[in-house]
Chain A
Amino acid sequence: MSRATAKGRAPVLDETDRALINMLQGDFPLVRNPFADVAVRLGIDQEEVIDRLQRLLDQRVLTRFGPMFQIERIGGAFCLAAIGVPEADFERVAAEVNAFAEVAHNYRRDHALNMWFVLATETPQGIAATARRIEIATGLPVFLFPKEREYFVEMKLEA
């Protein structure tokens, strides 16, 4: 199983790291001094909250800290897309696909369609246009799977 790239480097998290991650998957306080609020809730000081977040981001335990947007709500679009990439070309195609700023996430998956990524564009028309540019860059067909309906989204995972 080829999970080494994703696994392997997981750093050790202490209880406070886990509490911080769990707390901040909910809502970050919308106040002038939010880290001070978080610090009180965790029983540590503000500098430590900031230092821990910085370290968790540096270690890639966290991939982001900030607002998550639904670009559809102001006229943009998200779309799931997939490509079946010949194994020999995988690295090249991954580099080409990732070079597009519109590619927000990209995962390798075990399937004939082995590359799955999310396009985020400023307009709905941008999705098809970007997919076409990716097809030209990679020489491979891009399958688009636009969201027709969302039943549930809850990204919280207990750390």
Chain B
Amino acid sequence: MAAHRENPAPQDASNPGAASGVGCDEAIERRIIVATQGGLPLVPQPWDEVAREVGLPVDELLCRVRAMLERGVIRRIGVVPNHYAIGYTANGMSVWDVADECVDAVGEFIGALDAVTHCYRRPRRLPDWPYNLFAMVHGRSHDEVRQQISDIADRIAARFPGACRSREVLFSSAILKKTGLRISSAAGSVQERE
């Protein structure tokens, strides 16, 4: 269990230690993602096991993971509950058709409300889908969620009169899949962006 530090794996030349070129850092980060995207091992020293798999000393791995957290490559580390299993049986995706000129203001406003766990602006898909603002609301019953969404609508109407033209709530009735991210390799192409 007490796996101590391992030598860098004989993977490639991109193992230069801490301060190295961006491309190398990125390759290492991708290896860390691939090694942990399925979850951390449930052993007393999980990072030692990850470090061995990635081919880094554990102290360097911890530094890199900390840096990834700081840069937001890792949003957080922890558990993801199945919200049904912990009592949040109503999972409502509220969607809103908000005038473009104030969608950001309304989004910030909705996002700050306690009931909302995620809030995004997304494109409309006209003619069938006029909604450009998505806000997830979780609760212990459909009625509770409907009530919360109706409260949100009232607040929007008071604060931004006429901005919201229509809304809907889509309740989930089954989780069909929930595995999270799966990238296939540490070697994928990530440079196209610049």
Contact = CB atoms under 8 A, between A and B. Distances in A.
A115 B176 CA distance: 9
B35 to A, nearest CB: 10
B127 to A, nearest CB: 12
A113 B98 CA distance: 20
B56 interface: no
B111 to A, nearest CB: 3
Most buried by A among B44, B65, B119, B184: B44
Residue among A18, A46, A73 with most chain B CB within 10 A? A73
B79 A111 contact: no
A46 B2 CA distance: 14
Interface in B99-129: 104, 107-108, 110-112, 116-123, 125, 128-129
Interface in B54-100: 58, 62, 65-66, 68-69, 71-89, 91, 93
Contacts of A139: none
B74 A69 contact: yes
A109 B112 contact: no
Nearest to A98: B177
A116 B73 contact: no
A91 to B, nearest CB: 10
Given A98-B176, A152-B111, A21 B79 contact: yes
A63 B81 contact: yes
Interface residues of A, number: 87
A155 interface: yes
Interface residues of B, number: 85
A2 B174 contact: yes
Given A63-B82, A151-B121, A75 B191 contact: yes
A73 B71 contact: yes
B62 to A, nearest CB: 6
B120 A106 contact: no
A34 interface: yes
A90 B45 CA distance: 43
A124 B193 CA distance: 8
B176 A108 contact: yes
Contacts of A34: 46-47
Nearest to A64: B80
B89 A69 contact: no
Interface of B: 26, 29-30, 33, 36-40, 42-48, 58, 62, 65-66, 68-69, 71-89, 91, 93, 104, 107-108, 110-112, 116-123, 125, 128-129, 134, 138, 142, 168, 170-184, 188-193
6 contacts: A2-B174, A5-B175, A30-B47, A64-B80, A65-B40, A106-B177
Given A65-B39, A159-B87, 19 more contacts: A2-B173, A5-B174, A9-B85, A26-B76, A57-B39, A62-B79, A63-B178, A65-B80, A66-B38, A70-B74, A80-B134, A109-B170, A111-B168, A112-B128, A113-B128, A116-B172, A147-B121, A153-B75, A154-B117
